[in-house]
Chains A and B, each alone.
Chain A
Amino acid sequence: MKHGAVVLDLEVDVTPDEVYRYLGYRRGSQRSAKAQERLVELWPRALSLLRPRGAYRVVEGAEAAAAGMPGAGSEVGVGLCTVGGALEETSAACAAGGDLLDALLLDAIGSAAAEAAADALNLALCTVAADAGVHAAPRVSPGYGSWDVSFQGRLLALLPAAELGVTLTTGQMMVPRKSVSLAVSFEKDPSKGHRPGSACERCGLERCRHRVAPMRGM
């Protein structure tokens, strides 16, 4: 199944509820009128600044393991997506101009959009797996769980990062920041290595403010 990279435009489904979750609101919590008004006003412009694109490849498990992926199967779908830099540049400009509320809201829209892009890319990899008659395990990313973020460069080397406009800082941080790299192990047996449930259950960032489910074993 191993093949070259596929680059694609991604459809992202960003919802205000998801943005509010990134801002820390829980279901049913009261939101200030000001925050809601600003989000409504910023929404169309923010969406127009999104350029969601992604790329994926299917590689040998050994290649993914060499990029640090824990529990790589015999074949692995690796992917990279970004929503581009325009939104975060606008957010940074707002912050620099002292308008931190708008900056915060735009940043949260970007986070929700990047996650939606990752979901869309993940779905594309699940479709590749299904077409080949195998099962896609839950996606994992460098910096989460036991996959050290220092491997980010090795994972991106498997993908056309330059074509997507994604680069790394010396600290292995992706630029644009609203980018997600991921890998999905392809398994013949759906139960092998498959750990259903929220990604939050598998993530080691115990105090993450975006956590929606407790860590496994907590």
Chain B
Amino acid sequence: MTEASEVLAALSRAVLEGDDESVVGLARRALDGGLTPLETIEQGLVPGIRRAGELWEEGEYFLPELVSSAQAMKAAMEVVRPALARHGGGGELGRVVIGTVHGDIHDIGKTLVGTLLAANGFAVSDEGVDVPLERFVDRARELDADLVCASALLTTTMAEQRELVGALRRAGLRARVMVGGAPASREWAREIGAHGYADNAVAAVAVARRLVTGEA
């Protein structure tokens, strides 16, 4: 095994194991050793976070392990991102605006989706909870967002997701809309004209990738 492939394998393992301390040193070692930022991301970090998602889907990983992996990915990206910018950028899958709809203050699920999207290469603007429609629309316009993700955890607040789809459409924005939260469903997404629905954070990454890049 070459030095480069050793570092990439160690990076994958560190992300998978949620080791946010050693992952930073490994990311520096990869760049200092001559790997490009994109190689470091695509052959080191991404396999680790993807495997964490697979293990979650297989029931081997649970939310804390998944979150630890995402945090390790984030820590490594803070090292790699400046180098990526110097190499002319690239590697960003799309721009996402995410928030919990007005009247609803559930936070953790939405934050988890945002964190996993960021860990998987999306540029994420997390608007927090109780987000008014106007703020979703303004941020989507400002960022020229590819995707707006709206979370609602109650039947009384999910109607805001429908309002959001209408508001984005009336504003003439190109952003696609993904909805989630306990009362939401694929049928609900279809009914309100949303482009996607996900019932967990790992599925949200796959749906976002499909909506933004067309990749299955």
Interface residues, chain A, with chain B CB atoms under 8 Å away: 23-26, 29-32, 34-35, 38, 91-92, 95, 98-101, 103-105, 107, 143, 148-150, 169-173, 175, 177, 205, 207-209
Contacts and interface: CB of A to CB of B under 8 A. Distances in A.
Contact of B107 (A92, A101, A149): A92
Interface string B143-159: 00000000001111100
B64 A173 contact: no
A113 B17 CA distance: 29
B154 A143 contact: yes
Interface of B: 17-18, 59-60, 62-65, 67-68, 70-71, 74, 101-108, 111-112, 115, 130, 153-157, 160, 182, 199-200
B106 A177 contact: yes
Contacts of A35: 62, 64-65, 68
Contacts of B105: 169, 173, 175, 177
B75 to A, nearest CB: 9
Main secondary structure of the interface of B (DSSP, over half): loop
A24 B64 CA distance: 9
A171 B156 contact: yes
A172 B68 contact: no
A8 B26 CA distance: 54
Contacts of A25: 62
A169 B103 contact: yes
A34 B103 contact: no
A31 B156 contact: no
Contacts of B106: 173, 177
Q: Nearest 5 A-B pairs (CB), nearest first?
A: A171-B103, A35-B64, A171-B157, A170-B103, A24-B62
Nearest to B128: A96
B156 A207 contact: no
26 contacts: A23-B64, A24-B62, A26-B59, A31-B64, A35-B65, A91-B107, A100-B70, A100-B71, A100-B115, A101-B64, A104-B63, A149-B156, A150-B156, A169-B105, A170-B103, A171-B101, A171-B103, A171-B160, A173-B103, A173-B106, A173-B153, A173-B156, A175-B105, A177-B106, A205-B182, A207-B199
- With most chain B CB atoms within 10 A of its CB, the pick from A107, A148, A150 is A107
Contacts of B68: 32, 34-35, 101
Contact of B108 (A29, A107, A171): A107
A31 B64 CA distance: 9
B55 to A, nearest CB: 11
A24 B165 CA distance: 31
A98 B67 CA distance: 11
Contacts of B182: 205, 207-208
Contacts of B63: 23-24, 104
B18 A32 contact: yes
B111 A103 contact: yes
B147 to A, nearest CB: 20
Contacts of B156: 149-150, 171-173
A32 B108 contact: no
B107 A100 contact: no
Given A34-B68, A107-B107, A172-B156, 15 more contacts: A23-B62, A29-B62, A31-B64, A35-B62, A35-B65, A35-B68, A98-B74, A100-B67, A100-B70, A169-B105, A171-B102, A171-B156, A171-B157, A173-B156, A207-B199
Nearest to A26: B59
Contacts of A34: 18, 64, 68
Nearest to A24: B62
Contacts of B115: 100
Contacts of A209: 200
A173 B107 contact: no
- With most chain B CB atoms within 10 A of its CB, the pick from A38, A99, A101, A177 is A101
Contacts of B160: 171
